Structure 1
Amino acid sequence: MSGSLTGPQKAATLMLALGEAQAARVFAQLHEDEIRDLSLAMSALGTVSAAQVEEVAKDFTAQLGQSGHLVGSYESTERLLLKTLPKERVAQIMEEIRGPAGRTMWDKLGNVNEAVLANYLKNEYPQTVSVVLSKVRPDHAARVLALLPEGFAMEVVMRMLRMETVQKEALDGVERTLRMEFMSNLARGSRRDAHEVMAEIFNNLDRAAETRILTALEERSRESAERIRALMFTFDDLQRLDGAGIQVLLRAVPKDRLTLALKGASEPLRDLFFRNLSERASKLLKDDLAALGPVKLRDVDDAQAQIVAQAKDLAAQGQIQMTDGRDDEMVA
């Protein structure tokens, strides 16, 4: 971690530097809100250099100077919390840390994608949904309400109009249910493999940047580069489509986009598209390609990226299927 540390980061560094036994004693003296805030800072701390550790803990320079850097992580934070708090409470705190940011439950809900929240709330009682929407920001509540089934949404609106002061016990019950059933599941579901995330990012790079960064990554970690390459979906991967899939894709893609994309495609991939067009349409496409002349590589990359995105959308909708290239199994 570079730059000066904030107050919470300094506290997190000191707790990690103290070690589990000493830190456990400190945790025992803290209020629950302080434990939550400190746990959040610790889990997000990352790597702290030895120089920064010495700056934060000057009284322990002799011992800490030999320890090098520290790494703040979910795992180290969880181990420290388990020294002083019940297992169930630690699990709750860690799920809150991993979930959307926000100090209160209602702040956290305000940071949840409206489609995700609406999909959960449509299965709850209208009275429960009315409480939730009355507690989140009006703009977020509006987006969620618009995504609820029409009849159900009207039930929620009527209850919100008739709503009086919500009893604290009822509010606590709704909050507890959301925390246990929704936020914990959301947090667990949001933990994605880092290589999958990077593969999606690389899919959106232009060809020059992708080649440059992947080549550099290979020098640092060949295994990571290979995993990312295996997870990426490129224009050449359209060869994994069967004939029916190619025909569906051809109907969805504008002709000028396809012509531009095929300008930079391999011969096998071009042939695959030609074979799945009528003889007349295939000839017209070949003529268009021949007449296109020199084009910018960036324009070709953009056209190919748009067609790949279209193919992914069609696969997600179940309209096309692609083999994974390793066996006969079909993946949507």
Structure 2
Amino acid sequence: MAELARVSRLSGPERAAVLLLVLGEEFGAPIWESLDDEELRQVTLAMSTLGSVSAQNVESVIGELAHHYSRLTVVGDYERTHELLIKLLPRERVDPIMDEIRGPAGKTIWQRLSNVQEGILANYLKTEHPQTVALILSRVRPDHTAKVLSLLPDEFAIDVMLRILQLDNVSKEVMDQVENSLRTNFIANLSQSSRRDAHDTMAEIFNAFDRQNEAKFMEALEANAFKSAEKIRALMFTFDDITRLDPNSAQVLVRSVDKLDLAKALKGASAGTREFFTSKMTQRAAALFLDDMAGLGPIRLKEADEAQQRIIRTAKELAEKGEIIIAKSGSEEDAILE
């Protein structure tokens, strides 16, 4: 790891990491215990990716506290950091933070990269040299490489593909450098870049509201943050959005949902949505289904809402498994071709 040349390059969390490494277990324990979870996460991340810090930098950091150390080098990495924190803090505080810093699951760096969302990986790689990108993408899963390449600028992606074809045996030293760079510059910082947008989270919260609360809170949100309300509304997946499913996906969904749930859900749906579902059944099955729905008699609006939510969850689960496609409204890339 490259040595940090000047203390001015050290961030606040990095200075704190240096100080805590110097203090060690005995003198550093009270400070660790006083950190809240966010402070602990920041300092732990800094410590695990710190690398070598010269005696001069250590002296400068300690000098801020009127101390002086000489001929001292501090090194932080994931394993040493984990070992230190486990000694000092309850495991239930340490493990979630270290898991977040460790990044995606996988025994090797390449397995972990194959589990990184392709958009995030592509965004990182597009700033790297094409030769480095070629080396990296030649080591991850082919299906993941295909998705990443499709997200890179065309000219850049083609350059990378040509370089992959021309790759010779790569020395262990070069591979070690690439792996270390990925660990310190990408994987360790992945948790910061991969956190979900708050609008995505809020859209799922609104999806879970019954329609009365959805209308109440959306009205309040529109009054206070109209642009955010618009974005949340666009991200929401409602029961009526199911009508945008392609014919095959719609039939899979109809076969997968509980028919009583579907009957209750359609009690509270528009005529167009009812027609969409019944059109995916045979004429006889549709007639029997409508008879069963009429036989339910009046039901509470809450029951219809709850049934709709269960069907929405089923649709999302099927989409995650790749069994159906949920198209985004107005998105050209999600258009369904027959």
- TM-score by length of structure 2 reads 0.50
Q: Give how far 1:119 is off.
A: 2.9
Match of 1:285 among 261, 285, 289: 289
Counterpart amino acid of residue 303 in structure 2? D
Please tell me whether the aligned partners of residues 217 and 225 of structure 1 are also in contact (alpha carbons under 8 angstroms).
Answer: yes
* Matching residue of 1:68: none
Residues of 2 paired with 1:331 and 1:280: CA distance? Answer: 31
* Matching residue of 2:107: 121
Residues of 2 paired with 1:257 and 1:196: CA distance? Answer: 26
Match of 1:269 among 273, 284, 288: 273
* Matching residue of 2:134: none
* Matching residue of 1:188: 193
**5 Å matches for 1:9-20?**
none
* Matching residue of 1:250: 254
* Matching residue of 1:50: none
Counterpart amino acid of residue 196 in structure 1? D
Change (3 A) 1:113 1:40: closer
1:295 equivalenced with 2:282 (yes/no): no
Q: Give how far 1:290 is off.
A: 1.5
Q: Give how far 1:296 is off.
A: 1.2
Change (3 A) 1:197 1:328: same
Change (3 A) 1:200 1:104: farther
Change (3 A) 1:187 1:258: same
Counterpart amino acid of residue 221 in structure 1? A
* Matching residue of 1:161: none
Change (3 A) 1:112 1:235: farther
1:263-290, Cα deviation, whole Å (9 max, x unpaired): 1111111101111100111001111122
Q: Give how far 1:291 is off.
A: 1.7
1:132-169, Cα deviation, whole Å (9 max, x unpaired): xxxxxxxxxxxxxxxxxxxxxxxxxxxxxxxxxxxxxx
Residues of 1 paired with 2:99 and 2:290: CA distance? Answer: 45
Change (3 A) 1:29 1:299: closer
Residues of 2 paired with 1:29 and 1:282: CA distance? Answer: 67
In structure 1, list runs of 5 or more residues that go unmatched.
Answer: 1-23, 45-84, 90-95, 97-101, 126-175
Residues of 2 paired with 1:272 and 1:181: CA distance? Answer: 46
In structure 2, list runs of 5 or more residues that go unmatched.
Answer: 1-10, 21-27, 43-56, 62-77, 79-83, 112-180
* Matching residue of 1:32: 19
Q: Give how far 1:301 is off.
A: 0.8
SS in 2 for 1:192: coil
* Matching residue of 1:323: 327
Counterpart amino acid of residue 296 in structure 1? R
Aligned length: 208
1:81-139, Cα deviation, whole Å (9 max, x unpaired): xxxx89xx9xxxxxx9xxxxx9569754345779x9783237799xxxxxxxxxxxxxx
